[in-house]
Structure 1
Amino acid sequence: MAARLAQASVSFHFNDDDKYDDTHVTLTVRDVNGLVCAQVDSDYGHLNVVQKDEGPFGLVILNRQTSDLLQNGNFTIRITPNGHDTWRFNFDLVLALSDGSTLSGRVQGLELSRNNQQQEFELQRLLSVERHGQEISVADGPAGYFQEGDLQSGWRRCLKCQGMYFAGSGNGGICAVGGEHASDGSGDYLFDGGASGQHDWRWCNKCQLLHFGGVQPSVCAAGGLHSSTGSADYVLINNDPGALGQSGWNWCQKCQVLHFAGEESLGACASGGTHSSDGSGNYTLLD
């Protein structure tokens, strides 16, 4: 029998000022068909939160949906402020299932306000699955905890610059072509915390691209140099024809970014012109 939703909760970590006591908050979990499975509407009183954790806060279970339909659904957080209240925060979502397993995920660096009241997250990109204390699938942001045995999803290929960027936080990053990265048609790429290969690949917290950090930092599309503060150490499979996944990924020796070289264009480089694969190995990514 398929496991079903038993409990749901959300915890917050606020990054600055107090929240107004009349700001209304709505948290909603929907399945793949849009059915509301868990929800809570509350003002939560006056949250006196300056760099403080609050919660967990329980959601009311409205439909005990199966885990497969849940994981392809979405989670929405909405605030309705009376005035200019702004929330800058991280959150953790935990869904407990009837078989004792849990689905959990974290999003960091969110900001909601009167002009940006709602954000929606795909659960399959947000959630990880934990059974008997063993993490078997991870979708935390790059700044989250990432270790051997974890599989981190939420990575996409930008169809404009051909770079590999993290889309799991909802931040579209900055593309060398201009605007945010565009991932329409991209697969969902995975990084293995237990992989063997080349270390020192880093996530840039400015442009969101994966770049090689083992040399002098190079130019970032968001301006200045790449910044890897908060990044995990990503390990990439290099020059292994028997490796599972998609090969044809190259290192750009100009901007240090990992880019896909299997298209007619190598993609726009933040250093000017197109990426250069001179001296690069052939990297393989799980997709």
Structure 2
Amino acid sequence: MDFLTGRNDEAQPQPGPRPRPREEPGRRAVLTRALGLATVGLGAAVTAGATATAAQASARANQADWRFCTKCYGLFFRGYSDDGRCPAGASHDSAGYNFNIPHDIPETPTAQHNWRFCTKCYGMFFWGYSDNGRCPAGAAHAAAGYDFVLPHDIPETAGSQRNWRFCPRCYGLYYYGYLTNGRCPAGNAHGMAGYDFVLPHL
């Protein structure tokens, strides 16, 4: 059968001795074969379902609307009606790429987990120490939501941007690609330490 046209183009029988008729299988053989086919079908359905579930999980494992703030140089979530609290005063001002950040996936040698959303300033900060750094809304950051997993120390591509760094003073993530280092809630400019994070964007 041709699966594109639906035509049956099988070759015509060639001259020669006719094959002997097959013997009809017994009832046990028929049942055994039917059960085998059902098991194969069930296995294929389970595999297909697992593949679909994995694909759906992969599609859900990123969150967009993370933006660069032109005032503090930090990364903040712009998915609410307001834009959080900026250490340079008032709310954050967004510009540039719409970052699409991976979350709730396994950490690897080139991807670090424990990055969280702060409910007070809307910034992204590292949640891997006993304290939670310094928040521009006062006191420490407050973690909520996803466990973000940030790629680091990999080549930049057309769909990603490097030079995002951890600030050891406020624990926030900020862009380290300018002559100055923005504004830190702990005072003055951000400090720089650790990995060179490479963030995917839309």
2:96 counterpart residue number: 186
| Conserved? CA contact 2:133–2:140, under 8 Å | yes
Contact persistence 2:156–2:198 (CA under 8 A):
no
Distance 2:160 2:106 in 1: 13
Give the counterpart of 2:137 among 222, 229, 250. 222
Q: Name the counterpart of 2:86.
A: 175
In the alignment, which residue of structure 2 is the partner of 1:166? 77
Distance 2:152 2:93 in 1: 26
Answer yes or no: is the 8 Å Cα contact 2:170–2:185 preserved in 1: yes
More strand by share: 1
After TM superposition, list the pairs within 5 Å mapping 1:124-203 onto structure 2.
Answer: 148-150=58-60, 151-183=62-94, 185-193=95-103, 194=105, 196=107, 197-203=111-117
Query: How far apart are 1:280 and its partner, in Å?
Result: 2.0
1:232 aligns with 2:146: yes
Match of 1:241 in 2: 155
Q: Which residue of 1 aligns with 2:167?
A: 252
User: In 2, distance between residues paired with 1:247 and 1:195?
Assistant: 21
Q: Is 2:199 the partner of 1:285? A: yes
Contact 2:156 2:162 in 1 (8 A): no
Alignment check: 8 A CA contact 1:195 1:236 kept: no
Partner of 2:12: none
Distance 2:179 2:135 in 1: 23
| 1:152 positional shift | 1.1
Distance 1:240 1:264, change over 3 A: same
Q: Does 1:213 align with 2:127?
A: yes
Relative CO higher for 1 or 2, CA cutoff 8 Å, sep ≥ 6? 2
> Mind listing any 5+ residue stretches in structure 2 that lack a counterpart?
1-51
Q: Is the 8 A contact 2:101 2:200 kept in 1?
A: yes
Q: List 4+ stretches of structure 1 deviating above 6 A.
A: 132-135
Which runs of 5 or more residues in structure 1 are unaligned?
A: 1-131, 137-146
Identity %: 29
Matched residue, 1:95: none
What letter matches 2:67 in structure 1?
Answer: R
Matches of 2:199 and 2:106 in 1, distance apart?
A: 11
Query: Are 1:271 and 2:186 an aligned pair?
Result: yes
Q: Is the CA contact (8 Å cut-off) linking 1:195 and 1:237 kept in structure 2?
A: no
DSSP 3-state at the match of 1:152: strand
The TM-score with structure 1 as length reference comes to 0.47
| 1:169-221 residue CA offsets vs partner (Å, 9 max, x unmatched) | 223100000000001x3211101234751010010000000000001211100
- Whether contact under 8 Å (1:148, 1:192) holds in the other structure is no
For 2:5, the equivalent position in structure 1 comes to: none
Number of aligned pairs?
A: 143
1-structure distance, mates of 2:92, 2:190 = 16
Which structure: larger Rg? 2
Q: Give the Cα–Cα distance (whole angstroms) in 1 for the partners of residues 197 and 87 of structure 2.
A: 22
For 2:70 and 2:106, the matched residues in 1 are separated by: 26
Matched, 1:262 2:177: yes
Structure 1 pair 250/207, CA: closer, same or farther in 2 (3 Å)? same
* C-alpha contact (below 8 Å) 2:68/2:74 kept by paired residues: yes
Give the C-alpha shift of residue 225 in structure 1.
Answer: 0.6
